[in-house]
Structure 1
Amino acid sequence: MLLSTSTRINHLSRIRLPSSIIATISTTSSYRSLSTNNPTTTSANTMLTPPPTPKQPRSNLPGSNNTKPGRTLTLDTIHKSILNVEYAVRGELAIKADKYTQMLKSQQGEQGEQGGKDSGLGGMESRNGEKGEGKEKDGKDHGDLGERLPFDKVVTANIGNPQQRGLDQKPITFWRQVISLLEYPDLLSHPLTPQIYPVDTIERAKKLYAEIGSVGAYTHSKGVKEIRERVAKFIERRDGFPSDPEHIFLTAGASAGVSQWLNVALSPGDGVLVPIPQYPLYTATLAALSCHPVPYQLQESSGWSLSQPVLQAAIDSVDRDKTPIKALVVINPGNPTGGCLEEKDMREIVRMCHDQGLVLMADEVYQTNIYYPETKPFVSFKKVLRTMEREQDGENPITPGVIELISFHSLSKGVSGECGRRGGYFELVNIDEQVVDQIYKMASISLCPPVTGQVGVDLLVDPPKPGEPSYAQFEKETNVTHQSLLDRSAYMSEKFNALPGMSCQKAEGAMYLFPSIEMPDKALKEAEKRGKPADVMYALDLLDATGICAVAGSGFGQKEGTYHLRVTALCPGVEEYVGKIEEFHKDFMKRYA
């Protein structure tokens, strides 16, 4: 369905913003004046299933005639959409791995603290391991705290959390020095400080302290103005096009930004095109909003590429009168695939958003994790969009100012790995100013993003420069981290491709590999007997046998009839780690041959 230019101008100003958002808080003009001062994880064929009809309240709720005591909050009375939300990377496998971590701590007695460090799961919330509960009915679950496990540590290959205990990626020294001075600003004037901290670290901390004050105080709801200005300069250096700091929002990580944006942009029943496989943040958030993921399949055989005909087929599969498709999500570099888009494919995506009236959501949090920049460099969607807007002499040019883009970045990935600091940003391009006001209004409800996370964003976009005292160490640390990720990723894909019944596309970026498993018929029947997807059974059995916690491909979505496993390239001791997977996989294939 080709939309005319006249019907596309100010697309987001005319879309059905939820009335609750428009009515919330106060008039938006005051916010603009202040701003210058201070999924369910489902299979593709079920993604369009409407949310369930809410049940009637229980009779013992307030206002009913039945005064019998009882709990107000039950699964029958909480918001129905929440029951549809699933998040695979923190799901069943992670909970079970947590339990095994507690078992190892118990068995190690006085050395429990060291055991927790080695286990690699110390940074995850323990849900049921404290009591040794949660024993599974199927597989080789080890449910008794007194039982000896067949492994001495749990390896967390399920989530991109580089500084987690057991993964232990070294924090960037410059970051920690600056933030430590801001956490205890008395050090800025202490006579011994110049003997401990490089002079550029002290100068940066003083500059930030003058701009922010105490990191324990609220900031502007968009984030500190001076930091947003430096983010804008970073984007301008990267893309060669201007960036407006008033259209940049600092966030508590990219995930919070995605949720914040979708809550403003979507109404119940709207559809959003999401890649399959995809990071489950998107389907989970859409499920919570009673909206519909519209899946489009990435092409595994060509390095997880994005095909315009596949996108068009996904759009054509939906009755847009019943399910208005409002946005298109692209993750580049890809999670969980590790694929990087070519610029020609990105141009096709921009063209499709122009012709179909779609908001383009560009998840670009892995833009620093590029393994082969000579052949597959990172190019931002903003650069592609602005370049195409400028090309008005060619055939069928796009209309400038029409395509709405929101792009996300984070300090959790890249070579920083500061996941727990919760910092990120999104930039709005070609978004109607009245909608920007509504986004700001909703951001103000949370008051402000974490302040040390905002500081982290500042250090991300404005690191030490050549010639400055901290530059040499910064360059060395970041190069070591980047090279380690590349080396592990290449080693893992080579080993996986050598295994019978397993194939793996070489990762071109991000932090993950997504190998495909050819499930034997006997394994499929056993999985059906256990009541689990076959790749979930595989991942659970892998955890039981080796202590390696990975995520089944079904948690990200995958082409029907295929099975995958997502593993990170973050684990040290990769030879031992992959060796255990190799041994387990060969035994699995032999057992179910």
Structure 2
Amino acid sequence: MASDYSATPITMDNINPKVLKCEYAVRGEIVSIAQTLQQNLKDNPGSHPFDEILYCNIGNPQSLAQQPVTFFREVLALCDHPSILDKSETQGLFSADAIERAFQILEQIPGRATGAYSHSQGIKGLRDTIASGMEARDGFPADPNDLFLTDGASPAVHMMMQLLIRSENDGILCPIPQYPLYSASIALHGGTLVPYYLDEQTGWGLEISELEHQLKTAKSKGIDVRALVVINPGNPTGQVLGEANQREIVEFCKKEGLVLLADEVYQENVYVPDKKFHSFKKISRSMGYGETDISLVSFQSVSKGFYGECGKRGGYMEVTGFSPAVREQIYKLASVNLCSNISGQILASLIMSPPKVGDESYESFSAEKEAILSSLARRAKTLEEALNSLEGVTCNRAEGAMYLFPCINLPDKAIKAAEEAKTAPDTFYAKHLLNATGIVVVPGSGFRQVPGTWHFRCTILPQEEKIPAIVSRLTEFHKKFMNEFRG
């Protein structure tokens, strides 16, 4: 018998309507069904036509058996338990450069304790290290005072939305399809998402004419567009922007007076030889724009790349082109949360300053990195080819990031069945796929898409040896699904 909560002070009728408006499909309905099925399999083996759930819904590498990078974990272990640094046996258990790095980091931490609070922007010495890594990457100076270390990139995005959004009349230009963090955070902070559509026919290209059109349309509705979000490499779409396109985007933001919010968390994940990651900081500085010419916020995270340290919640944002007075307000927002966790801060410094040639860990570190990234590239190619072999499915190549976003041309009968089930057609497809195969994907409607088109996002993260099983299960299911709903 259901409990009666009608007399409780908080109900669905009086909670914050911004929370009701917020959606996050990556951990939504399909995943809840998958977790129930997983428990069913545990309690009743053989109760379903598959023996395990294959999670292809979220960029969470270590949950799918990717091993953490040895050097990073050695340094973290030593920093968390510094008393072992002074023991002779430690020399044989840990690499010399990990021990040296741990000593260096502990000297920068208040009380040499990872359980202590730090400066609200993050430990100064770690910010120095990150700034040096950014300068080495871009060829242009980076100021550690421009860096705010955060618990992953998500809190940094929320912080900027808090800063920019004053009311529903404030708009943020976001790519469609988009990572639902953006639509969710805009909704929570009471703003308006202004969509610009990526061109699927040109490999998810970003056209300036589309930005201009959507900006003009928003202004005609009384929306004050304040910023442009660009995700590069793309999530969920997997494209990598070319330099010429990036320069156009910088010029557009300069001309229109927009803050450029550059989501660059997949910068290590580029799989094709004809594309290379370039930060928007590098692009804008190479165009001659200085600190006061363009407002730019770039986001980085330890969750992605080849490291996949999602649970450590480390990341940072670089904030440039804001006045000292506004910077003080950003610092105030950071101070409300006191500081980000120290382990995440340490990892953020390590990913921007990994072992170098001559260090004891360099060869093993390089081998681990190459093994992970080359395997991801192979998985991406295998899944891309498999998806394109399916009837009515087209899939652009995965140039970067961790995802494929295929388009499904569903039969009219399937669309009608979805309508009768009061669900989106791509959600209808994803539910059928899960129940038949145990494969978990995220419906494209969770990321938004061109009206009348249907997609799903599939990660490339399951272990390489499980990719053939995913391909065979998906292929068999799709044939049966299309045969069932074709007539």
* TM-score, normalised with respect to structure 1: 0.79
Please tell me the residue identity of whatever aligns with 1:308.
I
* Mapped pair 1:103 → 2:26: no
Once residues 137 and 99 of structure 2 are traced to their aligned partners in structure 1, the CA distance between those partners, rounded to angstroms, is 27
Aligned amino acid, residue 22 of structure 2? V
Equivalent position of 1:202 in the other structure? 99
User: TM-score by structure 2 length?
Assistant: 0.96
Q: Which SS does the other structure have where 1:389 is aligned?
A: coil
Identical counterparts, % of pairs: 45
Asked whether 1:537 is paired with 2:428, we answer: yes
Q: For 2:214, what is the secondary structure of its paired residue?
A: helix
CA distance in 1, matches of 2:181, 2:190: 14
User: Given the alignment of the two structures, is residue 388 of structure 1 paired with residue 287 of structure 2, yes or no?
Assistant: yes
Give the secondary-structure state (helix, strand or coil) at the position aligned to 2:194: strand
Following the alignment from structure 1 to structure 2, what is the Cα–Cα distance between the partners of residues 566 and 80?
Answer: 28
| 3-state SS in 2 of match to 1:318 | helix
Question: How far 1:321 moved relative to its partner?
Answer: 7.1
1:363 matched residue in structure 2: 263
Identify the match of residue 480 of structure 1 among 352, 364, 371: 371
Correspondence for 2:216: 316
1:77 CA drift (Å): 2.0
- List gaps (5 residues or longer) in structure 1: 1-68, 109-146, 391-398
Matches within 5 A, 1:505-516: 505-516=396-407
Measure how far apart 1:574 and its partner are.
0.5
Code of the residue aligned with 1:370 in structure 2: it is V
The number of residues matched between the two structures is 477
Say whether 1:556 aligns with 2:453: no
Aligned residues of 1:389 and 1:400 also touching (Cα < 8 A): no
1:400 positional shift: 6.8
1:401 to partner: Cα distance:
2.1
Deviation at residue 316 of structure 1 after TM alignment = 1.2
Distance change >3 Å, CA 574–CA 321, structure 1 → 2 = closer
Structure 2, unaligned stretches of length 5 or more? Answer: 1-5
Deviations 1:221-280 (A, max 9, x none): 100001111111111111111111111000000011101111122211210000000000
1:63-142 correspondence runs (5 A): 70-108=7-45
Q: Which amino acid aligns with 1:375?
A: D
- For 1:190-339, what aligned pairs fall within 5 Å after superposition? 190-212=87-109, 213-269=112-168, 270-319=170-219, 322-339=222-239
Q: Which moved more, 1:488-497 or 1:73-82?
A: 73-82
RMSD: 1.4
1:81-103 C-alpha deviation (Å, 9 max, x unpaired): 11100000010001111111111
Matching residue within 338, 349, 373 for 1:447: 338
Q: Which amino acid aligns with 2:285?
A: R
SS of equivalent residue, structure 1 residue 330: strand
Partner of 2:349: 458
Q: In the alignment, what sits opposite 1:416? A: 307
Counterpart CA distance in 1 for 2:23 and 2:165 is: 19
Of residues 320, 326, 349 in structure 2, which corresponds to 1:435? 326
Corresponding position of 1:395: none
Determine the C-alpha separation between the residues in 1 that align with 2:326 and 2:146.
11
Aligned to 2:3: none
* In 2: Cα distance, 1:194 partner to 1:400 partner: 45
Match of residue 254 from structure 2: 354
Alignment partner, residue 182 of structure 1: 79
Q: Which amino acid aligns with 2:432?
A: D
Which amino acid in structure 2 is aligned with residue 574 of structure 1?
A: I
Specify whether residues 321 and 561 from structure 1 end up closer, same or farther in structure 2 by C-alpha distance, changes over 3 A only.
Answer: closer
The 1:439–1:569 alpha-carbon spacing in structure 2 relative to 1, beyond 3 Å, is same
Q: Which amino acid aligns with 1:544?
A: N
Does the 8 Å CA contact 2:291/2:320 hold for their aligned counterparts?
no
Structure showing greater radius of gyration is: 1
Aligned to 1:132: none
